[in-house]
Amino acid sequence: MERRNLGRAGLVVSVIGLGCSGMTGDYGVPDDVESVATIHRALELGVNFFDTSDAYADGRNEQLIAGAIAGRRDGLVLATKFGNIRGPNGERGGVNGRPEHVFKACDASLRRLGIDVIDLLYQHRVDPDVPIAETVGAMSRLVEQGKVRFIGLCEAGPETIRRAHATHPVSALQMEYSLWTRDAEDVIIPVLRELGIGLVPYSPLGRGFLTGTFRRRDDLIPADRRHAHPRFQEGNFERNLGLLETLDRIADANGRTSAQVALAWVLSRGPDIVPIPGTKHRSWLEQNVAAARITLDDADLKALDEAFPPGAASGLRYPEGQLRRLGI
């Protein structure tokens, strides 16, 4: 599989990664056996970039990955995160970017993952009460200690990115980015390219909406977290279905799935962009990986841009309070 550089410090990853958060909850029903099989299939297909967090299922996501990669560590790029505090049942407990927490969280993730070094450590959410230089300073010390190879940020604003990068080179910014979430294009992506930082889009398939595999709100189980997201709520959901018409048409014309076309669009946005579509099913993984071999022509790209201009989606990408806490 093709490789791409994230940042200028030497981090090289597969052109498509695997987001693992949904393997232990949030979306659908967990299935550990199929999740592990999906990770193994990803390795067979050349995927070497795997994304988790200590916040996903209170660390159980990291433990699941540890079991799946046992004896298969060579060549893998494991990314995890700290700072987004969750309770054992998913309760939100705020953000913690204090240096002492950075060290503690890193050691805990290393233990759960069963590894000696984290390849890419992100600050999951910026702590508004702690200067970013203090948090990144602690992350830099972890690099010096050999516990972390590269560092990243998630959902950070342009000035925060600049201050962080001035403290220690940032290799990647993880941010929601897809056909229906193009917030990063005006300010964030230009700053990343100025500084030489890669973009890792999470939810590049619009939390599954752009796959076209569910057309009714009732297709999601009651416990699915997407019910709390404005774009999936009554009224917005139905209006957003209209966005899929062009995507479906282009997919049909090219003999591809809607998900593959949506991922090909993200990949076309630049060689410094590496999406991490999440799945716990081998069949969806195989379709996603195949998107790396798709080149959309200019007419298709133009049609998608016109069908999905910035702000096209009905509803905010997060609940209002959660979005406000991002501080971007």
pLDDT of residue 165: 98
pLDDT of residue 89: 64
Tell me the H-state helices in 152-257. 158-167, 188-195, 236-240, 244-254
What are 292's two structure tokens?
Answer: 């790396």
pLDDT of residue 86: 74
pLDDT of residue 303: 98
Shortest CA distance to 291 belongs to which of 323, 317, 326, 265?
A: 265
CA distance 162 to 196: 11
Identify the DSSP state of 218: G
Angle at 152 between CA 267 and CA 210, to 5 degrees: 35
pLDDT of residue 323: 83
pLDDT of residue 67: 97
Angle at 215 between CA 212 and CA 218, to 5 degrees: 135
Q: Which residue has the tokens 């752009």?
A: 210
Spell out the domains of the chain, with CATH numbers in brackets: 3-207+266-294 (3.20.20.100)
Annotate 52-75 with DSSP letters as a single string: --TTGGGGHHHHHHHHHHTT--TT
Give the β-pairing of 11-14 and 3-6: antiparallel
Identify the DSSP state of 221: -
Q: Which residues of the chain have pLDDT under 50?
A: none
pLDDT of residue 327: 65
Give the CA distances from residue 270 to residues 61, 152, 203, 275, in Å, rounded to whole numbers and listed in that order: 30, 19, 17, 11
**Active-site annotation holder among 27, 56, 122, 202:** 56
pLDDT digit string, tens, across residues 183-224: 999 999 999 999 999 999 999 999 999 999 999 999 998 988
Give the amino acid at 297.
D
pLDDT digit string, tens, across residues 12-49: 999 999 999 999 977 778 899 999 999 999 999 999 99
> Which residues neighbour 194 within 8 Å (Cβ) at sequence distance 6 or greater?
none
Shortest CA distance to 271 belongs to which of 206, 202, 204, 199?
A: 199
pLDDT of residue 192: 98
Shortest CA distance to 150 belongs to which of 164, 140, 161, 137?
A: 140
Annotation says 56 is catalytic: yes
